[in-house]
């Protein structure tokens, strides 16, 4: 029995002894042993670094979650917030008539004022039509002058014919004129009166033609004026779509500008929070680029229907799938005073106060940038 147990132990130890024997240096196997010892080392180092990076990532994630849940300043009840991006109303500056761009006076990023001419279209063809209309206007004016002169002449003839008829009637009464002569004077007076009516009609016709020529000239002037593209409001040119020399159809877009007096941020709040928000409620906007500045704003829009949260919007709770869009708008007077600093697309957060009796935290008191 003892011999059988010893034999089994030797059999179990034989693979180990072979492995140990394979590691014993020998003149023929030195290079193999060196290769076997050196090959796994870089692999072990890579595994160690990967494990270390994984541990650091887990620690950072856990620390961030802990900071968010425990160390982040808590908002008082009655104040909610959501993330969004600052936006400004976009205004497309288009052509009213088809034509070729002659000049551009603004570029992307340029600040423009309301009424400033920023582009001109080629109006050489309209200018020719205007000159033709002005020539017709002068001709119509001469026709009116001629009709007025003819009217004055007819009025003189009517006056003379009436005087002769009256004198003839008196002579006929005294027996110094014949009835035939009186009839001649009466017919002359009637003819002059009819000519007077006709002259008045010609004057009215000439005046109408003059007004039509004036309207044509004014129309071409309006067309020329409309081919000068002006900025409708104060703002910044965001895009220049067309270049000098391009032929655009009616309604062709030349510029897109941002209205610096209409800046807002859209956020999304769940039903429980959105139901407490009122129009005109006080709000604050804090941009990531200016974390120490709280910009005063007001709630200007509350969606009447819930919608699914867009993928680009982060919310407080990922469990909420239906959200209400809330828009907070900055005071236009405040923006006009700082229009050079207005930007669009900057990310940040908007804080909405649903209870007017709740005081804003110190960080959201509203500092002027």
pLDDT tens for 97-110 read 999 999 999 999 89
pLDDT given for residue 311 in this prediction: 53
Highest-scoring range by mean pLDDT, 34-38, 217-221, 322-326, 355-359: 217-221
Packing angle of the helix pair 179-226, 124-174 (nearest 10 deg):
160
Distance from C-alpha of 265 to C-alpha of 233, rounded to nearest angstrom:
20
Q: Are strands 322-330 and 307-308 parallel, antiparallel or unpaired?
A: antiparallel
pLDDT given for residue 176 in this prediction: 86
The angle subtended at Cα 294 by Cα 290 and Cα 295, nearest 5°, is 100
pLDDT given for residue 313 in this prediction: 53
Distance from C-alpha of 192 to C-alpha of 207, rounded to nearest angstrom:
22
Band of residue 60 on the pLDDT scale cut at 50, 70, 90: low
Which residues are 104's β-sheet partners? 119
Distance from C-alpha of 302 to C-alpha of 49, rounded to nearest angstrom:
51
**121 burial level (CB within 10 Å; 0-12, 13-18, 19+):** buried
111's enclosing H/E stretch is: strand 111-112
Query: For the ranges 23-27, 278-282, 325-329, which has the lowest average pLDDT?
Result: 23-27
Band of residue 74 on the pLDDT scale cut at 50, 70, 90: confident
DSSP string computed for 155-185: HHHHHHHHHHHHHHHHHHHHTSS-HHHHHHH
In contact, 250 and 73? CB cutoff 8 Å: no
pLDDT given for residue 309 in this prediction: 59
Which residues are 285's β-sheet partners? 295, 350
- Nearest residue to 85 via CA among 339, 328, 332, 309: 328
Q: Which two tokens stand for residue 206?
A: 């000439």
Mean pLDDT, range 25-38, rounded to an integer: 45
pLDDT given for residue 310 in this prediction: 58
The answer to whether residue 9 scores a pLDDT higher than 50 is: no
State in Å, rounded, how far the first CA of the chain is from the last one. 95
User: Which residue in the block uniquely carries the two structure tokens 């409309």?
Assistant: 226
The answer to whether residue 39 scores a pLDDT higher than 70 is: no
pLDDT given for residue 7 in this prediction: 43
- Phi/psi at 237 (nearest 5 deg)? -70, 120
**299 burial level (CB within 10 Å; 0-12, 13-18, 19+):** buried
Mean pLDDT, range 160-185, rounded to an integer: 88
CA of residue 287 relative to chain centroid, distance: 21
pLDDT in tens, 112-136: 999 999 999 999 999 999 999 999 9
User: Which residue in the block uniquely carries the two structure tokens 């005046």?
Assistant: 207
Distance from C-alpha of 220 to C-alpha of 222, rounded to nearest angstrom:
5
Q: Are strands 117-121 and 247-248 parallel, antiparallel or unpaired?
A: unpaired
pLDDT given for residue 5 in this prediction: 43
In contact, 68 and 215? CB cutoff 8 Å: no
Band of residue 317 on the pLDDT scale cut at 50, 70, 90: low
Q: Which two tokens stand for residue 169?
A: 């009637």
Mean pLDDT, range 59-86, rounded to an integer: 66
Packing angle of the helix pair 40-66, 30-38 (nearest 10 deg):
10
Please state whether the predicted TM-score (pTM) of the whole model is above 0.75. Answer: no
pLDDT given for residue 345 in this prediction: 87
Distance from C-alpha of 285 to C-alpha of 348, rounded to nearest angstrom:
7
Helix (H, G, I), strand (E, B) or coil at 272: helix
User: For the chain, how long is the longest CA-to-CA vector?
Assistant: 189
Q: What is the mean pLDDT of the chain?
A: 81
The answer to whether residue 226 scores a pLDDT higher than 90 is: yes
Band of residue 67 on the pLDDT scale cut at 50, 70, 90: very low
pLDDT given for residue 79 in this prediction: 92
CA of residue 171 relative to chain centroid, distance: 88
Query: For the ranges 8-17, 70-79, 137-146, which has the lowest average pLDDT?
Result: 8-17
Q: Which two tokens stand for residue 124?
A: 């050489």
pLDDT given for residue 114 in this prediction: 92
Band of residue 260 on the pLDDT scale cut at 50, 70, 90: confident
Band of residue 336 on the pLDDT scale cut at 50, 70, 90: confident
Percent of the chain with pLDDT over 70: 78
Distance from C-alpha of 136 to C-alpha of 219, rounded to nearest angstrom:
14
The answer to whether residue 19 scores a pLDDT higher than 50 is: no
What are the angstrom distances between the C-alpha of 209 and each of 104, 195, 198, 206, 217? 39, 21, 17, 5, 12
The answer to whether residue 61 scores a pLDDT higher than 80 is: no
């Amino acid at each position: 029995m003892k011999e059988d147990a010893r034999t089994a132990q030797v059999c179990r130890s034989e693979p180990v002894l072979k492995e140990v024997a394979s590691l014993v240096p020998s003149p023929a196997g030195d290079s193999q042993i060196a290769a076997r010892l050196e090959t796994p080392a870089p692999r072990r180092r890579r595994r160690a670094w990967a494990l270390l990076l994984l541990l650091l990532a887990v620690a950072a994630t856990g620390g961030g979650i802990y900071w968010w849940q425990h160390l982040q300043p808590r908002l008082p009840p009655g104040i909610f917030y959501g993330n969004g991006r600052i936006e400004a109303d976009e205004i497309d500056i288009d052509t009213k008539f088809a034509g070729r761009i002659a000049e551009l006076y603004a570029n992307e990023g340029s600040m423009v004022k309301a009424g400033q001419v920023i582009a001109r279209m080629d109006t050489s063809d309209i200018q020719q039509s205007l000159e033709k209309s002005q020539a017709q206007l002068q001709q119509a004016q001469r026709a009116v002058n001629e009709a007025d002169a003819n009217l004055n002449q007819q009025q003189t003839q009517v006056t003379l014919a009436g005087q002769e008829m009256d004198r003839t009637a008196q002579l006929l009464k005294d027996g110094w004129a014949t009835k035939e002569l009186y009839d001649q004077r009466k017919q002359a007076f009637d003819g002059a009166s009819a000519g007077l009516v006709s002259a008045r009609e010609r004057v009215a016709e000439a005046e109408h033609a003059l007004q039509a020529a004036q309207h044509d000239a004014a129309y071409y002037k309006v067309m020329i004026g409309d081919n000068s593209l002006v900025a409708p409001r104060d703002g910044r040119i965001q895009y220049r779509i067309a270049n000098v020399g391009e032929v655009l159809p009616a309604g062709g877009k030349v510029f897109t500008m941002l209205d610096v007096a209409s800046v807002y941020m859209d956020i999304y709040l769940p039903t429980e929070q959105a139901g407490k928000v009122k129009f005109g409620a006080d709000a604050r906007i804090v941009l990531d680029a200016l974390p120490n500045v709280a910009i005063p704003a007001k709630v200007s829009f509350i969606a009447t229907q819930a919608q699914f949260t867009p993928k680009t919007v982060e919310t407080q709770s990922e469990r909420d799938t239906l959200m209400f869009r809330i828009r907070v708008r900055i005071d236009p007077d405040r923006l006009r005073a700082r229009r050079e600093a207005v930007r669009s697309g900057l990310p940040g957060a908007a804080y909405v106060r649903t209870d007017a009796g709740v005081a804003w935290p110190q960080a959201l008191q509203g500092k002027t940038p």
